[in-house]
Amino acid sequence: MTAGVVVVVGLNHRTAPVEARERLAVPPEGLEDAARAVAALEGVREAVVLATCNRVELYAMGDETGAVAAELRRHLQARGGAGVTLYEHRGEAAVRHAFRVCASLDSLVVGEPQILGQVKEAVAAARAAGVLRGGLGRVMARAFQAAKRVRSETGIAEGQVSVASVAADLARGIFGDLVGRKVLVVGAGKMALGAARTLARSGASLLIANRSFERAAALAREHGATAHPLTDLGMLLQHVDVAVCSTGASGYLLTRHDVATAMKARRGRGLFLIDIAVPRNVEPAAGDLDSVFLYNVDDLERAVAEGGQGRAVAAAEAERVIAEELSAFRVEEQAQRSAGPTIVALRRRFQEAAAAELERSLGGRLRHLPEGDRAALEAMLDALTNKLLHAPTTALKEAAGSADGDEVLRAARSLFALDAGPAEMTRVRAQGELTPQAKAGNGR
């Protein structure tokens, strides 16, 4: 198997509006299937699907980068991305993109902490789907490491203006004092609860409505709120001042008509709707109603980004860390590639020797063994081979990246006769040079 090249195709807050992104949204429970579908595309060996409210990106590893990129594009376009501008990165540019995304340098709100958790969820889903292995897996592991370094070594996360604080500023700009105001959280999203908690700290009271009333009740207990079933939404809207929506509903939870009906009952009192769900929960036209102020995730994050322009220095520092990590990854990959054939040959050598000895024993002294015992013996030999090879494999990978890497690799090939042809190997095996214990065992 060749090393393969990473390709990423996607869209984000810069290239596509929320209307386009919501068409391609993937709920968290759908990430495994989405990754499987991408891995099934022609030429794709590994895949990860990252879907957040700000981006939908397909990461894939394959051999023919051009063909893989075209497949990924077709895949996104067929799933609602027709007419949407898609970006594409290949090879090292794709790796760099993954690093920057994880480190929150590609986020609308640079330095926001949620993205790393979202990538980790995407990677876990791909792993669970069995479509993430050593190649793309190494890229993602290194991206997490880079993100960790960026957070700990730069001030990118300091003085973070959050979506929650912007939402609270807005509420104060609309209502003034928030004491005694009512804030409704629809759904159970972390960001929505965070925004609502910030408003509650200013004196507002909280109401939580969720499709699962039990979940709403549990959250209400935790946050000192009152719980309501989602079916009461229309009634609740008549009484609250702020509603923060973040459900996973695929259609509009609140249409313009719903909000207009509530506004009639409110006798014109102002209503601040915060829709941080993707796909959106509130029909955009509701924001045109008199005394209704509707903000979606893009609006809020843009406001947050404007408030965080002072972090440019930290962002530049973070880019330097990313460049260092990328360079280290490049060296590792090179080492991986140069050590790769030796490791593969060594593993094959051990496995062939073990298989040959097993076959000889099972055909001779151990002929009487039942099928179950034979399988157990085979598994035991596999485990033993893996255990014996673990230390030399690690040592070879490490040595390959060092100055005397070539010498170590040559020594390994010579010690284990990895460059020997089939005829020579038959002679070696016959002499039992590689398996003295097996030979002794058979001869007893």
Partner 1 sequence: MLGGLLAAAALLYFAAAVLMLTHLVGAATSQAARRAATAGLAGAVVAHLAHDALRWAGTGRGPFAGIHEGLSTLALLVAGVALGLRLRGGRLETLGVFVAPVTLTMLLAAQGADARPSTPLSGALLGVHVGSTILGTAAFTVAFALAAAYLVQEREVRQKRLRGMFQRLPPLEVLDVASYRSIALGLPALTLGIATGLLAGVQEAVGRGVPIASWRHYLALGVWAVFASVLVLRAVAGWRGHRAAIGTIVGYASAVAVLFGYFVRGAGR
Residues that bind partner 1 (CB under 8 A): 166, 169-170, 172-176, 264, 266-270, 287, 290-291, 293, 295, 299, 302-303, 306-307
- Active centre residues (catalytic): 53
Residue closer to partner 1 by CB (options 97, 266) is 266
Q: Which helix (H) or strand (E) covers residue 62, if one does?
A: strand 55-62
Say how many residues make up the chain: 444
Q: How far is the CB of 401 from partner 1 (least distance, A)?
A: 49
Structure tokens at 384: 């033993």
> 3-class DSSP state for residue 245?
strand
Residue number, 63 or 258, with CB nearest to partner 1: 258
Nearer to partner 1, 231 or 291 (CB): 291
Amino acid at 202: S
CB of 222 to partner 1, least distance (A): 30
Q: Least distance to partner 1 from the beta carbon of 290, Å? A: 5
> 């398996």: which residue's tokens?
435
Burial of 182 (0-12, 13-18, 19+ CB in 10 A): middle
Q: What is the DSSP string of 122-158?
A: HHHHHHHTT---HHHHHHHHHHHHHHHHHHHHSSTTT
Q: Which residue has the tokens 């609860």?
A: 193
Q: How far is the CB of 257 from partner 1 (least distance, A)?
A: 18
- Give the nearer residue to partner 1 in terms of CB position, either 212 or 291: 291
Question: Which helix or strand (DSSP H or E) is residue 205 part of?
Answer: strand 205-210
Closest CA to 54 of 129, 110, 127: 110
Tell me the two tokens of residue 235: 């009634």
To the nearest 10 degrees (0 to 180), the angle between helices 312-363 and 92-102 is: 110
The residue among 294, 170, 202 whose CA lies nearest residue 243 is: 294
Report in angstroms how near the CB of residue 281 gets to partner 1 at its nearest.
18
Closer CB to partner 1, 57 or 298, in the complex:
298
- Within its chain, how far is the Cα of 58 from the centroid? 10
CB of 311 to partner 1, least distance (A): 16
